[in-house]
Amino acid sequence: MTRQVLRLRLEKSGDARFISHLDFMRTLTHAFVRAGLPVALTQGFHPHPRFSLALALPLGASSEAEYADVELERTVDAMHAARELNRVLPPGIRVRKVQEIPVGAPPLQSQVGAARWLLDLELAEKGTAASEAPPVGGAPAAGEGPGPGGGEVGEVLTRMLAQPHLPLVREKQGKVRTLDARPLIRSARVREDGGPSVRVEAVLAAGNPSLRAAEFARLVAETGGWELRHLRVHLLEVYADRDGELVDPARLGEEAWRDYHRNRKLGFEE
Amino acid sequence: MGERAEEAAGRERLLESVEKPARYLGTEWNAVRKDHREVDILFALAFPDAYEVGMSHLGSKILYHLLNRRGDTAGERVYAPWVDMEARLREEGRPLFALESWRPVREFDFLGFSLQYELNYTNILNMLDLAGIPLQASERGEGDPLVIAGGPCAFNAEPLAGFFDFMVLGEGEEVLDEILDLYARWKRQGRVGGRREFLHRVVEVPGVYVPSFYEVDYHPDGTVREVRARDGAPSRVKKRVLPDLEAVSYPVRPPVPFLDVIHDRIMVEVFRGCSRGCRFCHAGMVYRPVRERSPQAVVSLAGELVRGTGYDQISLASLASADYSAVTRVVRELNERFGPCGIGVSLPSLRMDSFSVDLAREAGRVRRAGLTFAPEAGSQRLRDVINKNLTEDEIMGAVDAAVEAGWDSVKLYFMVGLPTEGDEDLEGIARLVEAVSARGGRGGKRLSLSVSVSPFVPKAHTSFQWEAQDSVQVLEEKFRFLRRRLRIPGVNLSWHDPRMSLVEAVFSRGDRRLGRVLERAWRAGCRFDSWTEFWDFRRWEEAFRSEGLEPGFYANRARPRDEVFPWDHLDAGVDRDFLWEEREKAYRGETTPDCRWDACPGCGVCPELGVAIALRGEGQM
Ligand code: SF4
């Protein structure tokens, strides 16, 4: 029987945003077994399923663009596979699209260069209780009072994008490092201004190098001289980045087929 | 915002503020979420430890299934909230909730705790407090849930007597239904006579123990003079035992945790009980007799569980799975059926012989697990004393087989402070470890050994219930000796805190007066005592001192043959005389064979409870 690779586009919403990246992987692996879909295994002493997620979503973020590349032992009808999976996925996790990818095509994980995020920023004027920026989906700090509105946040975004450099302090395993975040921000604009928070849409570098949504939010707050009281993050889409041109996964899949057929015509084996 | 929206927003903010929110979602695959308007009974199934521990417990999966199989009952789970969640609950003044509905557990009809380990007891008080339920059963009102308990520690939960409305001794499968039927009827009758009346009714159910119906008198020296039953309660409460495992439906769709819990795999219970007769072993006494599931049932349950959960690992669960009479055939069959799909088989708690290693090799064809053995004692003499029927040849045979099969690391468990133990027995541990370590030298690669040493904890209902535990000082000396002796490359020695074992020993043979110590320790901040990061012995010492009770009285004191024990009225079915004879044989170094393969040595369980050993290995597959 011939193998098959499916690229699933999943939604992670509601309670499911509280499932960590690793736990989400495990949850999907279990669902494949429940759905009776035979995931191919790696060789070796500790075989594991041939399965990868395009991006590691931070805990607390929701997403409509969780891409999973999964290699199956045998060919199944892609739509049928999606339906069977949706029967056995816990609340908040749903397959929304499925695309077949040629076996051996590069996994999306290795191609991702940018991601489009929605960020709901709850900002406050500084001066009340000083507090650390919370993690994604973090709890609000104490303190009341109206924060900046969409107009002010929009101005700050414009100012940020006009800067040649945006120094960002990143701490990793106790080591503090300063990097330039400016080239990692592709675009950013205010989408909505409703209630206590301002909704920003931003395209940020993802994969390697990457700018985390929470880091971007911190930069916005710092630039505006505000305090970030609450942050809620949602992933809209991921892309490959070709010298600034954003290519979405659907097109990457089509290109993979084109390459596959061209190689076949030229007589190459996969 | 409407009330619903506000509630939902509050829930999200709470989940956002803890480190592992997936512990509290209640939306795991197979979690049963019933509409409370459509059921009569709300039962909160509580496990007084972290989610990751509770979700690994087979007994809780069984009870959850049986509760929710009833049309009139919603069974929901609740675990000890982790310290970050506890802090948030207290800050917000939000009461402890059940996972599936997020409804406060104090609005439930029952709050049932599983008693697995003495060092979880402070978590019980903490959970009651977080729930807003009075700690003492006597202080609860008509609106409060009935707070009940079961599990192995219920056989001597006297230190908890004041906190529970009632407890259940033995296996819960049948008695649970009887209790709930009774409750449903009482509720339909408009809860006539209040909770007091319900206790009077439920005490008639065999296996139910209502601690408030018993009075305890003490001698001036602190030992028990008498336990008197009142209010028509039976003078002895006999444990319940399920004669045929297959007569009760098994959970083939247990909730599948999002988090990586401790035992994150399918568990098929292949048998219950163990009659090897290790003289220190509590489980080996209170779960008698051995009752197996047929190989056919095991294999078909495994298949249903694979489809129901999606796990890729099947564990054959029991107290000693290599003793299952159909183990070889079942392992082979499971491998044939599920191996090609990448689904592996594992056997916890192996015996240390080459048969078991061969089994582990066969089981590990898909995914090989680590090897863990428990010789328990270092010398043949002491192994005979504890009736661990295991010879040096068998041990070495197991090691050779393991090395040959390609294992390069092995875990070994020992106990120190066992009755009659002397220097030569400790030296025996060291020599045995040396010998095992030397066996691995072949092929250039050393066998790496993790050696875990735990203090012996005398347990109620065992042949060693009369014995003294070594003092903390003596145990520490013994450990230091082993550490000096075991400075061998490739050997990694670890040690269970003797102070934790002291508190465990106190509560495992404790009386009702200890309830006050427990409450004081909890008030001083004790919780998650089995977690080294939260363990604080000084608080315990302080609690004992304040209550005027001496831990040594409970832990380090040898009891005379005829002392009345606080748990004498709690009957596990095993004869006290049999236990004493076994103790005498221990001191003579005589072993007792296993009644599965030899004559019945007469522990008393079968005639007393009207059950029999059930070996079903011959069955078709
Ligand atoms: S009564 Fe005899 S056969 Fe039954 S469990 Fe005890 S020792 Fe075994």
CA gap A105, A87 in Å, rounded: 28
Residue B355 has a pLDDT of: 85
Lowest mean pLDDT among B121-125, B265-269, B341-345: B341-345
Residues A80 and A123 in one domain: no
Q: Averaged over B60-72, what is the pLDDT?
A: 97
Is residue B529 assigned to a domain?
no
Q: For residue A62, what is the domain's CATH number?
A: 3.30.70.580
CB of B260 within 8 Å of a chain A CB? The answer is: yes
Is residue B340 assigned to a domain?
yes
Residues A190 and A218 in one domain: yes
B29: which chain A residues are within 8 Å (Cβ-Cβ)? Answer: 27, 30-31, 34, 88-90
Of B17, B27, B312, the CB nearest to A33: B312
Q: Averaged over B421-432, what is the pLDDT?
A: 96
Residue that wins the pLDDT comparison between B620 and A240: A240
Q: What is the pLDDT of residues B395-406, one digit of tens each?
A: 999 988 888 888
Q: Domain span at residue A184?
A: 112-242
Q: Averaged over B255-274, what is the pLDDT?
A: 95
C-alpha B145: how far from its chain's center? 24
Is residue A166 assigned to a domain?
yes
Residue A130 has a pLDDT of: 45
CA gap B463, B586 in Å, rounded: 9
Percentage of residues in chain A with pLDDT exceeding 90? 75
Does the pLDDT of residue A176 top 80, yes or no? yes
Is residue A177 assigned to a domain?
yes
Is residue A56 assigned to a domain?
yes
Residues B130 and B206 in one domain: yes
Residue having the nearest C-alpha atom to atom 6 of ligand 1:
B603
Residues B114 and B47 in one domain: yes
CB of A126 within 8 Å of a chain B CB? The answer is: no
Residues A158 and A199 in one domain: yes
Residue A101 has a pLDDT of: 94
Q: What is the pLDDT of residues A41-52, one digit of tens each?
A: 888 767 788 899
Q: What is the pLDDT of residues B519-572, one digit of tens each?
A: 999 999 999 999 999 999 999 999 999 999 999 999 999 999 999 999 999 999
Residue from B605, B608, B613 whose mutation best tests the ligand 1 pocket (most atoms within 8 A of CB): B605
Residues B310 and B177 in one domain: no
Q: What is the pLDDT of residues B152-191, one digit of tens each?
A: 999 999 999 999 999 999 999 999 999 999 999 999 999 9
Residues B310 and B229 in one domain: no
Lowest mean pLDDT among A198-207, B71-80, B200-209, B435-444: B435-444
Residues A74 and A191 in one domain: no
Q: What is the pLDDT of residues B133-151, one digit of tens each?
A: 999 999 999 999 999 999 9
Residues B443 and B579 in one domain: yes
Residues B199 and B283 in one domain: no
Residue having the nearest C-alpha atom to atom 4 of ligand 1:
B606
In order of B263, B281, B366, B612, the CA distances from B267 in angstroms are 9, 22, 17, 24
Residues A119 and A237 in one domain: yes
Residues B348 and B275 in one domain: yes
CB of B17 within 8 Å of a chain A CB? The answer is: yes
For chain A, the maximum distance between any two Cα atoms, rounded to a whole number of angstroms, is: 69
Q: What is the pLDDT of residues A85-95, one digit of tens each?
A: 999 999 999 99
Closest CA to B344 of B459, B244, B251, B264: B264
Residue having the nearest C-alpha atom to atom 8 of ligand 1:
B595
Tokens of B311: 């796990």
Is residue A155 assigned to a domain?
yes
The ligand 1 atom at the shortest distance from the C-alpha of residue B605 is 1
Q: What is the pLDDT of residues A225-243, one digit of tens each?
A: 999 999 999 999 999 998 8
CB of A20 within 8 Å of a chain B CB? The answer is: yes
Residues A58 and A134 in one domain: no
Using DSSP, state whether B126 is helix, strand or coil. helix
CB of B5 within 8 Å of a chain A CB? The answer is: no
Using DSSP, state whether A203 is helix, strand or coil. strand
Does the pLDDT of residue B584 top 60, yes or no? yes
Is residue B257 assigned to a domain?
no
Residues A14 and A92 in one domain: yes
Lowest mean pLDDT among A40-49, A214-223, B60-69, B278-287: A40-49
Residues B311 and B199 in one domain: no
Does the pLDDT of residue B282 top 90, yes or no? yes
Distance B594 CA to ligand 1 centre (A): 9
CA gap B341, B407 in Å, rounded: 24
Residue from B276, B576, B595 whose mutation best tests the ligand 1 pocket (most atoms within 8 A of CB): B595
Look at the block and give the residue holding tokens 């236990």: B579
Contact B25 A29 (CB under 8 A): no
CB of B13 within 8 Å of a chain A CB? The answer is: yes
- Name every protein residue with a CB atom under 6 angstroms from any ligand 1 atom: B 275, 288-289, 595, 600-606, 613
B22: which chain A residues are within 8 Å (Cβ-Cβ)? Answer: 18-20, 23
CA gap A240, B438 in Å, rounded: 56
Q: Averaged over B219-227, what is the pLDDT?
A: 97
Residue A244 has a pLDDT of: 84
Residues B337 and B416 in one domain: yes
Q: Name the domain count of chain A.
A: 2
Kindly give, in sequence order, each residue whose CB lies less than 8 Å from that of residue B59, ignoring residues fewer than 6 positions away. Answer: B114, B151, B172
Kindly give, in sequence order, each residue whose CB lies less than 8 Å from that of residue B118, ignoring residues fewer than 6 positions away. Answer: B153, B503, B504, B507, B508
Residues B231 and B272 in one domain: no
Residue B55 has a pLDDT of: 97
Kindly give, in sequence order, each residue whose CB lies less than 8 Å from that of residue B154, ignoring residues fewer than 6 positions away. Answer: B115, B167, B168, B169, B209, B570
Is residue B245 assigned to a domain?
no
Residues A61 and A169 in one domain: no
Q: Domain span at residue B223?
A: 11-238
A46: which chain B residues are within 8 Å (Cβ-Cβ)? Answer: 367
Identity of residue B331: V
Residues A123 and A54 in one domain: no
Using the 3D structure, point to which of A110, A129, A144 is the last residue of a domain: A110
Does the pLDDT of residue B618 top 50, yes or no? yes
* A 61-90 residues inside an 8 A Cβ radius of B: 88-90
Is residue B286 assigned to a domain?
yes
Does the pLDDT of residue A128 top 60, yes or no? no
Tokens of B156: 């001597």
Give this complex's ipTM.
0.91
Is residue A170 assigned to a domain?
yes
Contact A15 B25 (CB under 8 A): yes
Is residue B524 assigned to a domain?
no
Is residue A70 assigned to a domain?
yes
A32: which chain B residues are within 8 Å (Cβ-Cβ)? Answer: 310
Residues A199 and A231 in one domain: yes
Q: For residue B192, what is the domain's CATH number?
A: 3.40.50.2300
Lowest mean pLDDT among A72-76, A189-193, B243-247, B513-517: A189-193
Does the pLDDT of residue A68 top 50, yes or no? yes
Residue having the nearest C-alpha atom to atom 3 of ligand 1:
B600
| End-to-end C-alpha distance for chain A, whole angstroms | 16
Residues A100 and A173 in one domain: no
Decide the pairing of beta strands B313-317 and B266-269: parallel
The whole model's pTM is what?
0.94
Q: What is the pLDDT of residues B19-33, one digit of tens each?
A: 999 999 999 999 999
Residue from B239, B288, B608, B609 whose mutation best tests the ligand 1 pocket (most atoms within 8 A of CB): B288
Does the pLDDT of residue A143 top 60, yes or no? no
Percentage of residues in chain B with pLDDT exceeding 70? 99
CA gap B548, B517 in Å, rounded: 9
Is residue B169 assigned to a domain?
yes
Is residue A267 assigned to a domain?
no
Q: For residue B490, what is the domain's CATH number?
A: 3.80.30.20
Return the residue of A nearest to B406 by Cα: A45
Residues B231 and B283 in one domain: no
Is residue A85 assigned to a domain?
yes
Does the pLDDT of residue A191 top 50, yes or no? yes
Q: Name the domain count of chain B.
A: 2
Residue A142 has a pLDDT of: 47
Residues A40 and A127 in one domain: no
Is residue B541 assigned to a domain?
no
Q: Averaged over B367-393, what is the pLDDT?
A: 92
Residues B313 and B180 in one domain: no
Residue that wins the pLDDT comparison between A44 and B230: B230
Does the pLDDT of residue B442 top 60, yes or no? no
CA gap B354, B352 in Å, rounded: 7
